[in-house]
Amino acid sequence: MPTILVADDQPDIIEALRLLLKGAGYSIETARSVAGIIAAVESKPLDVVLMDLNYTRDTTSGREGLSVLARIKEIDDSLPIIVMTAWGSVNGAVDAIRHGASDYIEKPWDNTRLLTTINTQLELGNAVRAGRQLERENRALKRTGMPELIATSPRMRPILDLMERVAPSDANVLITGEHGTGKEVVARWLHAASPRARSAFVAVNMGGLSDGVFESELFGHVKGSFTDARADRAGRFELADGGTLFLDEVANVPLNLQSKLLRVLQTREVERVGSSRPKVVDVRVLSATNVDPHKEVSAGRFREDLLFRLNTIELKLPPLRERREDIPALAAHFLKRQSTRYSKQLAGFDPAAMQALMDHLWPGNIRELEHTIERAVLLANGDVVRTADLALNERGSGSAQPLEELTLSEAERTLIEKALARFDGNVSHAARALGISRSALYRRMSAHGL
């Protein structure tokens, strides 16, 4: 049963809130002074603090409450605090949020809104605390020099456990998931947690390789083997020798070239274009795709034997909409990074902005969230990010806005999203439908955060 500290200097206010919250299934602690609030926070396990800002008779400035906010955050910075004010002052509410409050309620309060606000803050507070607990339990995921993984939701826990078991091995791993779900971050983590960490991590976008350069890029070439081969060149397999090769968007390899990739995976030998001397390479192969590889096999677009070679272990990353508990931590991480990048001092998100982040469907997943936070940092004109700064439109909530009502950029993004959805994320097919090359489509997808 969640415990709420109700703090106010008026006994009738405390009693009214005690009856309301007890009836809603909460355990209640009370305090009538600043000292009582601090004593309760220091001595009792609390889930939410619901507190007035004034405790001295004839005082309406709220300064007492603002000072105690800072003290509570020193004791437990994960504890959600909802402030109550009888004055309905927007400035006072903003000051409270700047000092660490999570949300505010005006007196006299609306019971439904009060309970909804408490439930929201309970969920957010639990997510933050669960994340910190999981971080303590999985310290291996936070070792010095490791790519930072922010993943605390229940949907991610079995994936993190599997990553820890698989990382020290040489097993080939296929990472699947929608665009923007963090597949390359996972690949880099697997490399960094493996015995190969001191050797190279080489990434190659397989969907961006045309038929004419496929072999040269992957296997290398010797001088004079074709018109532009002015010097010997090592391919990606050789560059990754002793380390890890990451094949991104591997399902987009044309069918006629898949046999050449399969041969190298089977023999662990590469031959540069124009050479007849095979070279043995010691490479661990990690690969990724945003489409279902098994459907690609069934459709005849991907070799089944190649899939068997790539997915000794398969990691399926969920979309962000299925791991919403991670949104507050991810948003805070990106806010800190972008604030540093653009030399801005932003304390966090106001409650409405955080709720907007939680409600958005994020079709572009973590990549879209990062771009949204970067844009918000640039637009922010205060100490916190507000809903208007996020500039979220309705495309993630399922509305179908006519193309003629969109900007040119929004219309282009919508067409790309529809083409990708039509072909289950297959970039090659979507590019053909749009009448552009795969490389051009990748550039435009990147520009739109897809």
Tell me if 32 sits within 8 A of 9, measured CB to CB.
Answer: yes
Q: What is the three-class DSSP state of 423? A: coil
pLDDT value at residue 411: 73
Angle between the 408-422 and 438-447 helix axes, to the nearest 10 degrees? 120
Residue tagged 């602690």 (tokens): 29
Tokens of 243: 């380390």
Q: Which CATH class is domain 323-447?
A: mainly alpha
Residues of the chain with CATH 1.10.8.60: 323-447
Say yes or no: domain 146-318 is CATH 1.10.510.10: no
* H-only helix segments in 202-326: 214-219, 236-239, 255-267, 293-298, 304-310
pLDDT value at residue 142: 46
pLDDT value at residue 297: 93
3-134 architecture in CATH? 3-Layer(aba) Sandwich (3.40)
Rg from Cα positions in the chain: 27
pLDDT value at residue 170: 92
Residue tagged 């906010």 (tokens): 69
Tell me if 396 sits within 8 A of 381, measured CB to CB.
Answer: no
pTM: 0.63
Q: What is the pLDDT along the chain (450 residues), one digit of tens a residue?
A: 889 999 998 899 999 999 999 999 999 999 998 889 999 998 888 999 999 888 765 555 567 778 888 888 888 888 999 988 765 555 666 777 877 888 888 888 889 989 999 998 988 888 777 766 665 555 444 454 567 788 888 899 999 999 999 999 999 999 999 999 999 999 999 999 999 999 999 999 998 787 778 888 888 888 877 777 778 788 899 999 999 999 999 998 988 889 999 999 999 999 888 887 889 999 999 999 999 999 999 999 999 999 999 999 999 999 999 999 999 999 999 999 999 999 998 989 999 999 999 988 898 899 999 999 999 999 888 889 999 899 885 444 444 455 455 567 777 787 787 777 767 677 887 777 777 887 778 888 887 777
d(C-alpha 448, C-alpha 393), whole Å: 14
pLDDT value at residue 427: 80
pLDDT value at residue 184: 94
Residues of the chain with CATH 3.40.50.2300: 3-134
pLDDT value at residue 14: 92
d(C-alpha 398, C-alpha 361), whole Å: 8
pLDDT digits (tens, 9 = 90+) for 12-59: 999 999 999 999 999 999 999 888 999 999 888 899 999 988 876 555
pLDDT value at residue 288: 96
Opening angle at CA 429, ends 425 and 431, nearest 5: 95
